[in-house]
Amino acid sequence: MTRVTDRDAVPFDLASMRKQYRAEGLAEADLAATPVEQFARWFRQAATEGGMFEPNAMVVSTADAEGRPSSRTVLLKHFDERGFVFYTNYGSRKARDLAENPQVSLLFPWHPMARQVIVAGVARRTGRDETAAYFRTRPHGSQLGAWASSQSSVVAGREELDAAYAELAARYPEGEQVPVPPHWGGFRVVPRSVEFWQGRENRLHDRLRYVAGPDGGWRVERLGP
Ligand SMILES: Cc1cc2nc3c(=O)[nH]c(=O)nc-3n(C[C@H](O)[C@H](O)[C@H](O)COP(=O)(O)O)c2cc1C
């Protein structure tokens, strides 16, 4: 059994690690009419001024039929008034969870801007045409990767993955069209609520949440930080 030595132990004084967040706030009057428009505004800022490596990286949390939660990072590939779209393997743990329980949370951790967006909603598979249109835009190697990996299954070793990839690369050399794997596709998350969190001074952050109404409209509520 490996012992945790002093050298491995937490090298920082975590209890004293804290940042003062910027003072610029988010007021009700500044919000767009819909959460998707507001998301578009913040996303544009995150992508252009935020200094972030992948602002479209989000934490997707699902739960199985017994309520056991799991989270992982996934890339947002499209959003509009219909919802937020990501692509994955339909045999993966997340996809199996969503088949049993379509409730999902998406979290965008935009730390450099002291911002966070949390979308709660229901995930549905995208249509095959939409999936195929996106698949065609992926680089050839990523298309092969979608075939090569049985995502979330236990593999014997790295060699197994490399061998599967090499076999596919021989069957579909660069320039050949790779068929869309039937076990791969998109999910569209239809939002029920979207919270915009802006860090403020003295931990008095702004939290404004859009909640879907029965008429298709949105109401906004402020939450305690
Ligand atoms: C930055 C980043 C982006 C990722 N993007 C995706 C993605 O778009 N789709 C995907 O299926 N997995 C993506 N992954 C891998 C997932 O985090 C995860 O390992 C995989 O989807 C299997 O998750 P599951 O076993 O919980 O279903 C990404 C990981 C990272 C760190």
CATH code assigned at 48: 2.30.110.10
Could you give the number of structural domains in the chain? 1
Does 73 sit in the ligand 1 pocket, CB within 6 Å? yes
- Distance from the CA of 141 to the center of ligand 1, in angstroms? 16
The number of the ligand 1 atom at minimal distance from the alpha carbon of 77 is 8
For residue 218, what pLDDT is reported? Answer: 98
Q: Does 3 reside within a domain?
A: no
Q: Does the pLDDT at position 118 exceed 70? A: yes
48: enclosing H helix or E strand: helix 35-48
| Any domain includes 204 | yes
* Ligand 1 atom at minimal distance to the Cα of residue 62: 26
The ligand 1 atom at the shortest distance from the C-alpha of residue 95 is 27
128 is catalytic: no
* Virtual torsion, Cα 186, 192, 196, 202, nearest 10 deg: -130
Structural tokens at position 52 = 């972030």
* 3-state secondary structure at position 33: coil
The more confident residue out of 4 and 24 is 24
Q: Does position 10 have pLDDT exceeding 80, yes or no?
A: no
**Residue 35 included in any domain:** yes
Q: pLDDT tens digits, residue range 146-199?
A: 999 899 999 999 999 999 999 999 999 999 999 999 999 999 999 999 999 999
Best residue among 76, 88, 90, 101 to mutate for probing ligand 1's pocket (most ligand atoms within 8 Å of CB) is 88
Q: Report whether 203 contacts 195 (CB < 8 A).
A: no
* Residues 98/106, Cβ–Cβ less than 8 Å: no
Give the pLDDT score at 96.
Answer: 98
